[in-house]
Structure 1
Amino acid sequence: MTWPTTRFAGIVLRRSAVALLAPFLVLGLAACATTGRPANAAVFTDQGPADEVRIGYFANVTHAPALVADVEGYFADALGDDTTITFTTFNAGPAAIEALRGGSIDIAYLGPNPAITGYVTTNGSLLRIIAGAASGGAQLVVAPSITDVADLAGTQIATPQRGGTQDVAARAYLAKHGLSTDLRGGGDVDLVPTTNAQTLQLFTDGQIDGAWLPEPWASRLVLEAGAHVLVDEADLWPDGDFVTTTIVATQEFLGEHPDTVRAVLEAHVKAVDWIDEHPDDAAVVINDALAEKAGKALRADVLARSLSSLTFTVDPLASTLDDLFTHGLDAGTTELPLGIPPDGVLDGIYDLRLLDAVLDAHGEPPVDSAGLGKE
């Protein structure tokens, strides 16, 4: 099986030597919308720089640009002394979406499927995707006794959080191979929402049979617990390109404080460029940041393996989003109300105008919204 194709001109880190639970409730549009079509795009009201910007990200290798921009002071430098920055770390995307929904953060690095759910369940009023951050770095790793997809029948497989990007990918893949899953547990394969650290221990103890995980956790199960790769998600996409991490902003904050959002994106672009240009130094900075933010640095071999499977890019790979949306619909983690067709529901989810302005200032080409937003 392959999943649809996309190409992008991004910032790449592929150097093999270089060397984070609440249950997710599936929400329908019915409580939030009547038309099933997105709200208008953010109107920049230019209220000036925000007094505070609250940024959320995961203390994870897949969020390396956020880690670098935080610990290296890129966010602080771009935003200046007049804007206070508050950082919050999350274990999975659905929790970050709830924080955006609850008004406790303004901008978040997260996976595409939670971003889709946050968008469609609010009829487009909650957020916009404003940039990409990473592609790749997700695998289904399993016990040595499992050598074929058919062997997964009757197993327990962990994913970071129900409705998260890896959870949706796992459900879509299993369904394509005739294996059922159930959002309440059970099915041919029992997908168990589990925090990544617990997943490692449960696998080590023989309590689960494998997991569909982002880096560095896939590498940790392989190198520290004896798992092997059954599915590298990159192999499911032509050219191996699929979106893993995006940046979203609430529509309210984006509309009221475009200068602040642009400054955040300036720092993000700088971090991605620096990672690409200084891969050896980047590995050290990323590991030091993980030690600070997650409480423990990675083994050198784990870090090297993790980074070798990731591409860091500001391009959000918009051409893959419709297919990820379909995967969520098919998996049951994204729901539309009765009578609302999926066509057009994602229209407007991207607002790449500020990113493109930053890229233009750097002499870099604009990125593509694939017809799903402003650019």
Structure 2
Amino acid sequence: MKKFLSIIAIAVLGLVLAACGGGNEASGSGDKGKEITIGYFPNINHVAGMVAEEKKLHSETLPDGTTVNYQYFPDGSAFMTALETGDIQGGLVGPGPAMNHFTSGAEIHVVAAGSTGGTVIMARKGAGIETPEDLKGKTFISPRVGCTHDVQFETMMKEEYGITSSRIGGEMKHVTGKPATYHSMFVTGNVDVATVPEPWASVIEAEGSGEVLVDTPDVAYGETLPAAVFVTSQDLVKNDPELVQSIVDGHKKATEFIQNNPDEAKKIAIKKIKEITDQKLSADVIDNAWERINFTYEVNGDVLQDFANSSHDLKFLKEKPDLEGLVDTSFIK
């Protein structure tokens, strides 16, 4: 497995792309010797991608002779750019980036989910934060502006506590950075609160630099929103639905493997995260993170629409979104 490369085209603050063969044309269902590339993030929500890669499950479902590559991403914007340019043919991304790019004109389909849950709001020890009401004047961090975890956090804060980001005239300062750095940023006091995808919330807990302020069930859309969705291009769905079915079948096999073999799936997650990020996570951290996540390929379009409405309400989207056509569940039935 290749180690992560240095920052090349996208500033990723140390968590960079391991491009293992992007930019190839997708194989047609009857073609031999073609390549496809699947993308995912080194987060627990994306374990299906790790399992599919490690167990070579896409190779079992794709046409004979197809070469399967994997590319790792630090954030949704980088992933969606790669999908739109054809550098990858599909993979796992947060629902926020998928929705945002779709409403901006990207011709994509969500064809399955990857997981639900896994977002935790962590407060830095010593920041004087006991409840969310204490966040006025504080600095919070998320992976990207308008990403899934950002929208979940800001929706909760606005709807339940009447506190908003300075981006829309409110009292909280917002910065961004990769989740693997949040523990060190807590230690240095650079941020007060983090809206964190697992396993990085459990890392903060284990290291003792922060405490859970709001756990997964109480974050906006915490247990119903897909934490990761499997997306591909509308062009691929239209022109080669058999190939898309083969890709989704591999993803389904990976999800079912996680459900039926959680202990082995956890070991794979530890191994792949170490390879991708050079951070070794303990079994205790993975066990803790696992409790906050439900691995499923079933996807509910209505929940995504509600989430999109929240993103518009927070002014991440200029126009009220209409997600009709985004979700295509025909490949998971």
Give 1:130's match in structure 2, choosing from 111, 114, 128.
Answer: 111
Q: Distance in 2 between matches of 1:183 and 1:81?
A: 51
Over 3 Å counting, the alpha-carbon distance change for 1:312 and 1:49 in structure 2 is: farther
Instruction: After TM superposition, give the deviation of residue 236 of structure 1 in Å.
Output: 4.2
| CA 1:49–1:182: 2 relative to 1, 3 Å | farther
- Contact 1:140–1:230 (8 Å) recurs in 2: yes
The equivalent residue for 1:181 is 165
Counterpart of 2:97 in 1: which secondary structure?
A: helix
Verify: 1:351 aligned to 2:324, yes or no.
no
How far residue 318 of structure 1 moved from its aligned partner, in angstroms, is 2.4
- Trace 1:45-60 onto structure 2 (pairs within 5 A): 48-49=29-30, 51-60=34-43
Q: Which residue, out of 296, 301, 308, partners 2:291?
A: 308
Structure 2: which 5+ residue stretches go unaligned?
A: 1-10, 14-26
1:214 aligns with 2:197: yes
SS of match in other structure, 1:240: coil
- Are 2:97 and 2:148, in contact at CA under 8 Å, matched by a contact in 1? yes
The structural deviation recorded for 1:263 is 1.3
Q: 1:164 aligns with which of 137, 147, 150?
A: 147
Q: Report what 2:3 is aligned to.
A: none
Q: Which amino acid aligns with 2:38?
A: I
Q: Among residues 76, 89, 94, which one is paired with 1:106 in the alignment?
A: 89
Contact 2:299 2:329 in 1 (8 A): no
Separation of aligned partners in 2, 1:48 and 1:207: 51
Aligned length: 305
SS in 2 for 1:298: coil
Note closer, same or farther for the CA distance 1:239–1:215 as it changes in structure 2 (3 Å cut): closer
Are 2:37 and 2:71, in contact at CA under 8 Å, matched by a contact in 1?
yes
The 10-residue stretch of structure 1 (150-159 or 167-176) with the greater mean CA deviation from structure 2: 167-176
1:258-296 alpha-carbon deviations (Å, 9 max, x no partner): 222111111111111111111112211221122223323
| TM-superposed deviation, 1:335 | 2.0
Alpha-carbon offset, residue 47 of structure 1: 5.3
Query: What is the rounded CA distance, in whole Å, between the counterparts of 1:54 and 1:238 in structure 2?
Result: 30
| SS of 2:112 mapped into structure 1 | strand
C-alpha separation in 2, matches of 1:180 and 1:321: 22
Q: Which amino acid aligns with 1:248?
A: V
Counterpart of 2:302 in structure 1 is: 319
1:258-337 residue pairs with structure 2 within 5 A? 258-336=241-319
| Correspondent of 2:62 among 79, 84, 93 | 79
> In structure 1, what residue type is equivalent to 2:211?
H
CA deviations on 1:291-314 (whole Å, 9 max, x unpaired) are 223323311211111111100001
Match of 1:252 in 2: 235
- Larger RCO (CA within 8 A; separation ≥ 6): 1
Per the TM alignment, residue 52 of structure 1 is displaced from its structure 2 partner at its CA by 2.2
Aligned to 1:66: 49
User: What is the rounded CA distance, in whole Å, between the counterparts of 1:260 and 1:225 in structure 2?
Assistant: 46
- Structure 1 counterpart of 2:87, one-letter code: S
SS at match of 2:166: coil
Alpha carbons of structure 1 residues 236 and 140: separation in structure 2 relative to 1, 3 Å:
closer
One-letter code of the match for 1:129?
Answer: V
Q: Flag the 1:161–1:352 CA change in 2: closer, same or farther, 3 A.
A: same
Q: Percent identity?
A: 27
Deviation of 1:109 (Å): 0.5
Partner of 2:71: 88
Instruction: Report the AA paired with residue 137 of structure 2.
Output: G
Q: Does structure 1 residue 140 correspond to structure 2 residue 121?
A: yes
Seen in structure 2, the aligned counterparts of structure 1 residues 226 and 200 have a Cα distance that, compared at 3 Å, is: closer
The separation in 1 between residues aligned to 2:157 and 2:177, in whole angstroms, is: 18
**In the TM superposition, what are the counterparts of 1:223-262 in structure 2 within 5 Å?**
223-236=206-219, 240-262=223-245
Q: TM-score, normalised by structure 2?
A: 0.85
Separation in structure 1 between the aligned mates of residue 264 and residue 68 of structure 2, nearest angstrom: 25
Q: Partner letter of residue 52 of structure 1? A: E
User: What RMSD over aligned residues (CA atoms) do the two structures have, in Å?
Assistant: 2.2
